[in-house]
Amino acid sequence: MLTSPGRVRYFPACLLVKVCTFKSEDSHKLTMVLNPVISKLSGKLVVLASASPRRLEILTNVGMRFEVVPSWFKENLDKALFKKPYEYAVETAKQKALEVAKRMPFKHLKTPDIVIGADTIVTVGGLILEKPVDKQDAYRILSRLNGKEHSVYTGVAIILCHEKEDQEIEYKVVDFYEETKVKFADLSEEMLWEYIHSGEPMDKAGGYGIQALGGMLVEHVQGDFLNVVGFPLNHFCKELDKIFNSPSSDTADRRCTLAAEGMAGEIPEDHSSAVRKRNVAQCGSRDRFEFPHRIADLLDGFKASKALFTACKLKVFDLLASAEYLSATQVAGNISGSLMGTERLLDAVVSLGLLEKLKLGDTIAYRNTEQTSRYLVSTSELALNEYILYCDERVWPLFTHLEQSVLEGVSQHDHAFGKRCEEPSKHACCNHREKQLQFMKAMHSMAKVAGSHVATAFDLSSFRTACDLGGCTGAMAFAFSKVHPALSVIVFDLPAVVEMCAHFHPRGQDLSRVTFVAGDFFSDDLPKADLYILARILHHLPAEKVHALLSKLSEICKPGCGVLLSEIFLDEGTRGQSSGILQALTMTQGVQRSAAEYSLLLQKYGFTQVSIKHTGNFLDAILGVKP
């Protein structure tokens, strides 16, 4: 991806979808190329002042480790004050980053080393095109671009924060912009409206997303493709190289190293002893005041989780979704809480970046962020509330007994929830059903968020029938049937589970291609299918049951049939690494595995044509096909 200055890159429209998302092997190669630059950030608290999932994915895929703290800066700069469109993008990026850099020491109680801000705009004829407000506006914007070449600018600001001895913070700003030219094909009105009806244009500057369906509108791209997606990675890495590899920074680093080793005398003689003493003092001061940011974050991690759990349980996000904004007094009244306690909870959630705090005259008010509205309001299609409540009520108590679990090597379920009732009774039966329904709701909410990523991980056009083993509520199956119109899916699960599945069927979607069959995949015959899906199944099974299930699949699968596993992969540098390892702490059986280990497992049972996909979502995916 790194190119020499002035090099022009053209991307035919047919290649756009392939280019916009890194494959795992491409990501690994790119990480190796950029490692000398990215490694300069090791040990530093790097913050991305943006909630954009596209920027997050671009930077994560090259191995950068950072925190996401969305900026509260309102993007309301007067565009008429800027002579060039890119000046507006750069200034907006700078203000976003500075807002986060200055807020964190007070709201988050930690000072970042580096804050990255970015703003992407689309311009045609010198006019900056905003995000469309409705479908008619989207048509107006896309019509302006139709058949023409336009420019996409991303302004980037890198804020270097230095905490001085008097506890003042010094901010150094490095900013730049990148321009990419994009040519739209000459499209019919029918095609434009098809794209608009997909809903994709509504949250995109310029009304299109090149990394998704919008790639079909584009004839060619001249320049950095990732700049159009939302972040100019190539230019960013060059700026990092300038910052950390300039002669002045090398000399300063060398002086510090020599001073630390007691070798300051080896600094060239043209530097006075006074200068050497000053450098030694500065190096010692920097070492003395180095703060363990990562450890501090981990110490506060459980508090942040509990604040999120509590806000969900008290339906704070649902309440704020019902109004444009509410004061702490209004929220307290609606949840029957104390004003002081409610205000503190709201401020805590603001510090986590899940709420916005506004000053309206003499009133302080709160409102949901865009991400909160999508994932934390219970009526949202992608709501994670049920999974969050399950973590609070069923997972949190297990972790409070983690020390005992480590020492004994057994489940601490009885310590956390009391001994299981041995005598069958109506009450026990009802209680079991309630817990089972709670678990199903939790898995359903997670599967809805992860489902589309897993379903689109591979080309499944060669399969006509699929069987989702242990498919629970059918959320994953419905995601597959929605993405692949030619695919029919059978959900195969225990009778008690299938009995309760009707409650979870999606509204407004064709249900005819998803059917539910009751059975036990260890003792009963499996439905015949071209593709078998196992989502979150293998990781919790003991070795003998993994062998039994995969042997059974190997026997019934003919050449061309496949097995698609969806699990958390323990691969270094991925989201799943820490998530899977932490989850394993309370597992009493089964094993979390890396993608390579799952690949070897599939190959052992005859599924030798293996493809791997790190989705960046809750679950990754691996497909094995019998040759």
**Residues designated catalytic:** 119
Chain mean position to CA 290:
29
Cβ–Cβ under 8 Å, residues 622 and 598: yes
Amino acid identity, residue 108?
Answer: H
CA distances (Å), origin 405, targets 302, 501, 543, 582: 18, 34, 21, 13
Cα 343–Cα 52–Cα 509 angle in degrees, nearest 5:
95
- Helix, strand, coil share (%) of the chain residues, nearest 5: 50, 15, 35
By C-alpha distance, which of 347, 294, 367, 304 is closest to 67?
A: 294
Question: Strand pairing partners for 623?
Answer: 564, 611
- How would you classify the pairing of strands 169-184 and 488-493? unpaired
Cα dist from 255 to 23, 160, 161, whole Å: 42, 20, 21
Give the pairing of strands 488-493 and 514-518: parallel
For residue 301, the tally of other CB atoms under 10 A from its CB is 10
**C-beta of residue 232 within 8 angstroms of C-beta of residue 178:** yes
Terminal CA-to-CA distance of the chain, rounded, Å?
34
What gap in Å lies between CA 123 and CA 129, rounded to an integer? 6
Look up residue 189 and give its two tokens.
């009105």
Cβ atoms of 174 and 239 closer than 8 Å: yes
- The 3-state DSSP class for residue 223 equals coil
CB 276 within 8 A of CB 284: no
Q: Which two tokens stand for residue 113?
A: 């080393």
Q: In degrees rounded to 5, what are phi and psi of residue 597?
A: -70, -40
Eight-class DSSP state of 44: S
Q: How far is CA 546 from the centre of its chain?
A: 30
Q: What number of CA atoms fall less than 13 Å from residue 6's CA on the CB side?
A: 0
Interatomic CA distance for residues 498 and 436, integer angstroms: 12
Is-contact 38 62, C-beta < 8 A?
yes
Tokens of residue 454, six digits: 């897993």
Q: How far is residue 418 from each of residues 18, 399, 414, measured CA to CA in Å?
A: 52, 15, 4
